[in-house]
Amino acid sequence: MDGQSTMRVIALHGFTGSAKDFEPLVERLSVHVHALDLVGHGDAPAPERCEPYRMGMQIGRLAEQIPDEPIVLLGYSIGGRVALRLWPLLRDRLKGLVLIATTPGLTDPVERTERIAQDLALAAQIETRGVGWFSEYWSEQSIIQSQKHIAPEIREAMGQRRLANRSVGLANTLRSLGQGAVDPVWSTLSGLSVPTLLLTGAQDRKYTDIASAMAQRIPNATHQIVDDAGHCVHLEALDVAAVAIQEFLDSLNE
């Protein structure tokens, strides 16, 4: 379509993932998608110091990679967390936002403190015990269990990329970009005026509830819940999610 020829989707992956995780989805979309690696993941650098991972520095690095043209931001999980803080920098270039299993952050101080402690402890274990240990640990978490719905060849490739991550990259991501480490941005949602698609899996009750609350605050939001899918809904229900995202992108050109 004419509108799609100039519109670009910038995709931000989830924790332990990489830009390549989006390839099965990209194959099903008729728009150019430019997927970026977050610091500490994929082909992006994994500095020894924690500071380069901070949200402000992450946003600045990503903003430099985004072309000066109409943009739709697509973020999954931690990628959505980044997108919710990146969109104000895009100003008039931002045409839409797709947030997959995303939270604006923790608002309860006690909950934030507990989450920071948990992430710091896990970060230390990753550095001590290695990525192989962490990959097995991570795959056993309830939020990851639904990934059994992902096609085996896609799931296997994701697993290999997860193992290729560097310990310091994953550890410093938890320290600097964990849910407790970053300030919540619920108060900014009312200023998000562009069309926004919130996509969650029905089995991911926590993030589905969060998306429902977000939809009440974002002026032009649509929340779509996909049956028989969990947290990684865009790959667990690949065809359904691709149709939902493509229809949303098409609507931006109407």
- Give the distance between the most distant pair of CA atoms in the chain: 53
Question: What angle do the packed helices 167-177 and 78-90 form, to 10 degrees?
Answer: 60
Question: So what's the pLDDT on residue 91?
Answer: 81
40 in helix, strand or coil? coil
Under the banding of pLDDT at 50, 70 and 90, the label for residue 68 is confident
Under the banding of pLDDT at 50, 70 and 90, the label for residue 46 is very high
Question: So what's the pLDDT on residue 254?
Answer: 73
Question: So what's the pLDDT on residue 76?
Answer: 98
98 in helix, strand or coil? strand
Question: So what's the pLDDT on residue 67?
Answer: 84
Give the range with max mean pLDDT: 65-79, 135-149, 202-216.
202-216
94 DSSP assignment: E
Question: So what's the pLDDT on residue 253?
Answer: 85
| Structural domain boundaries in the chain | 2-251
CA distance 62 to 180: 22
- Please give the CATH superfamily to which domain 2-251 belongs: Alpha/Beta hydrolase fold, catalytic domain (3.40.50.1820)
